[in-house]
Amino acid sequence: MPTFLFDSIVFGPVRSRRLGVSLGINLLPLTRKMCSYDCIYCECGWTHGDTVNSEALPSRTAVREALRDKLSLMKEQGTAPDVITYAGNGEPTLHPDFAAIIDDSVAIRSEFFPEAKVSVLSNGSMIHRKKVRDALKKVDMNILKLDSAFPETVRRMNRPQRPFDLVRYESYLNDFGGRFIIQTLFVRGMCDGEVIDNASPEEISAWLEVISRLKPQSVMIYTIDRDTPDGNELRKVPAGELHAIADRVEARGIPVSVSG
C-alpha cells in the first residue's frame, strides 16, 4: 500500500488524533525516511538507513526561519496551533543540532503562541545521549515509544538498528523524573511470515508491569490508521480492546488517551 513522506520542513497544521491542531516540523531529509527503527506499521514506509548526512538535513537556521515564518503567518491569520510537533520522515533526535533546534523552537513558540505546547514524537533510541535527554526535558510533551516489553516483539515490530535493551531503556527513561509520555501502537497480523500481536494477554500483562514501574505522566495508546508498508497483512486492534487496555492503565493511577 502507498505510504508518504513530508516534503517540507514545516507542514500543516493538521488535525492529529492525539494532539489536536498540530503544526509539524520535519528535521529529516525531504526525499527519504531516515530512522533508527524500521517499524512495520510506519506511514512513511521502510527505512533506508539511519546514517546522518548533514548535507541532506535541514540546517538549524533553515528550521528556525521556516518555523518563524509559519508562526508569523498563522498569527496574522488568527490561527493558533495547539502544539508544535517534531515528527516527520523518521526519528527527529537523529539530527545533530536537535538540542539547539529545540532551544530555538521554545523561544519562537513563546514569542508567537506562548500557550502552544512543544512536542517531540520519538522512538527513544537516542535518549542514551545526554544532550538529547536534556533537550527533551525542555519540551512540554516528551512522547516516547514502548510497543512491547518483550525484546523479540520489539525486534519484529520496530526492527531497531541496534539490539533493544529494555533495562537500559528504562534507566534512561527514569532520568526524566516522570516527565514523559509513553506512546504504544497495538497491532496484529503477519509480517515476513511472522505472527505480530502485541495486544495478546501475555503482551499486555508484561507491558503493564513496565508502565507501572515507569510511572509516566500519561500513556497514549492507538492502532494503525493509515497505509502501512506491509499492505493488508496488518490489522487494527478494535477500539473495545484498546479501551479495555486503557482501563487497566487507569486502574494504576496513570492517565491514558485512546485513539482507535
3-state secondary structure of 203: helix
Residue 29 is assigned to a structural domain of this protein: yes
Q: Which of 12, 105, 115 is nearest to 63 (CA)?
A: 105
Q: How many domains does the chain have?
A: 1
Contact (CB, 8 A) for 50 and 34: yes
Find out whether 120 and 86 touch, Cβ atoms under 8 Å.
Answer: yes
36 lies in a domain? yes
CB 211 within 8 A of CB 171: no
DSSP-derived 3-state class of residue 229: coil
Query: Model-level pTM?
Result: 0.92
Q: What is the DSSP string of 92-145?
A: GGGSTTHHHHHHHHHHHHHHH-TTSEEEEEE-STTTTSHHHHHHHTTSSEEEEE
Predicted confidence (pLDDT) at residue 119 exceeds the cutoff of 80: yes
> What's the pLDDT score for residue 209?
97
Q: Which domain holds residue 120?
A: 10-259
| Adjacency order of strands within the sheet including 194-197 | 194-197, 187-191, 234-236
**pLDDT per residue as tens digits for the range 172-227:** 999 999 999 999 999 999 888 889 999 999 999 999 999 999 999 999 999 998 77
Assess contact for 71 and 11: CB atoms under 8 A: no
- CATH code, domain carrying 65: 3.20.20.70
Residue from 26, 21, 139 nearest 80 by CA: 21
Q: At which residue does the C-alpha cell 512540554 appear?
A: 140
1 within some domain:
no
Residue 159 lies in a domain: yes
Domain annotation covers residue 2: no
The answer to whether the CB of 5 falls within 8 A of the CB of 227 is no
* Residue 3 in domain: no
Q: Single out the residue of 174, 179, 87 nearest to residue 136, CA to CA.
A: 179
Q: How confident is the model at residue 134 (pLDDT cuts 50, 70, 90)?
A: very high
Domain presence at residue 5:
no
pLDDT tens-place string over residues 244-256: 999 999 999 999 9
CA distances from 22 to 43, 84, 97, 186, 251 (A): 17, 6, 22, 23, 30
Task: Let me know: does 96 contact 132? Beta carbons within 8 Å.
Answer: no
Q: Which three cell numbers stand for residue 1?
A: 500500500
Is there a domain that residue 4 lies in?
A: no
- How far is it, in rounded angstroms, from Cα 118 to Cα 102? 9
Amino acid at position 25, single letter: I
Residue 95 reports pLDDT greater than 80? yes
CA 42 to chain CA mean position, Å = 11
pLDDT tens-digit series, residues 43-66: 888 886 555 565 689 999 999 999
Q: What is the DSSP string of 35-78?
A: -S---TT-TT---------GGGSPPHHHHHHHHHHHHHHHHHHT
Single out the residue of 140, 107, 104, 134 nearest to residue 121, CA to CA.
140
